[in-house]
Structure 1
């Protein structure tokens, strides 16, 4: 447990690094902590990274690969706030996860669950993600 908490603290520190590479790695490393409030806040910030959309893409891919309701909920929150450029890169990251090796959970089913979320931004973002997954084939 201590090692896991150390990993969380390290990734949280990297999330605010000036290095795009470290922020991208933080997005990947924090994805499995999507239900932890501190990590969730950092992940939404990484999805909306203003300095480098590579961070956006890598974080979206990592969250989609984790594929929990908490992880996809964070993508939905960010989609609702995103400009078109960031939304495009989140969509690309999601497609990277769906097309990549090693199965990805059913993102469409998770978006269906999020359609009943009490937060309007999550419901709105889930609709956007659902549209992205239509016609996507998992390889």
Structure 2
């Protein structure tokens, strides 16, 4: 029998967008696990369906850990304009709850010192989104 992580990893490669969305939700709590992190970035940059991008970004922002926000920042660095818009929309969806905005802002503050420049730049953008949401 497969573990929850193994099942979600398998589902992340599904041709069905609904299964990929479910995989993003299921993998979000494993954002600090390298195999899950790689799949989550792939889901954030899904070329087949923007719902996968949006909902994966939302769930990762709701998780709000440094590892989760780091994945959004990495994806944002690689995203085309359309994907970037849906990443931002997903983060905004999560930030409507004030507690979530505080978690995201704290994670972005820590990521501002990340050794990877793409992460630092992405975190700065995400932090600005969080600021815009609080206004």
Name the TM-score class by shorter chain: over 0.9
Range with bigger deviation, 83-92 or 37-46: 83-92
**Residues of 1 paired with 2:78 and 2:12: CA distance?**
19
Counterpart in 2 of 1:34? Answer: 31
- For 1:33-72, list aligned pairs within 5 A: 33-72=30-69
* Gaps in structure 1 of 5+ consecutive residues: none
Counterpart in 2 of 1:126? Answer: 123
**Residues of 2 paired with 1:51 and 1:103: CA distance?**
32
Deviation (angstroms), 1:110? 1.1
Higher helix fraction (1 or 2): 2
- TM-score calculated relative to the size of structure 2: 0.93
Deviation (angstroms), 1:137? 2.8
**Residues of 2 paired with 1:120 and 1:89: CA distance?**
22
- TM-score calculated relative to the size of structure 1: 0.90
**Residues of 2 paired with 1:67 and 1:106: CA distance?**
5
Q: Matched residue of 2:13: which SS? A: coil
Structure 1 segments, 4+ long, off by >4 Å, are: none
- The number of aligned residues is 134
Counterpart in 2 of 1:137? Answer: 134
Deviation (angstroms), 1:106? 2.2
Counterpart in 2 of 1:11? Answer: 8
